[in-house]
Amino acid sequence: MASAPGDRLLRVGIVVTVIGLLLSAVALLPLVFPDLELPGAWWFLSMITGVGLALVIFGLIRASRARRGDRVP
């Protein structure tokens, strides 16, 4: 069964978003444990969440454009 256009982009975007959210949770650990000190790279890695959300949005746009072309008159 062939997947619809944009499905793979949506799946990748969801995985990247979840990874970014986990990295964000790690980056916020010093707020809970004040003695913990993390390098600044964790803040950069937490920005992957936005990349994942952008991939999801582009996947939705691609799927909707493909669906619009499938209409039967």
pLDDT at 3: 75
Nearest CA-CA partner of 61 in 2, 20, 5, 13: 5
Q: Tell me how many degrees the CA angle 6-49-47 measures, rounded to the nearest 5.
A: 135
Model pTM?
A: 0.82
pLDDT at 73: 52
pLDDT at 2: 58
Per-residue pLDDT tens, the chain, 73 aa: give them: 557 778 899 999 999 999 999 999 999 999 999 999 989 898 899 999 999 999 999 999 998 888 777 665 5
Task: Please give the single-letter amino acid code of residue 44.
Answer: F
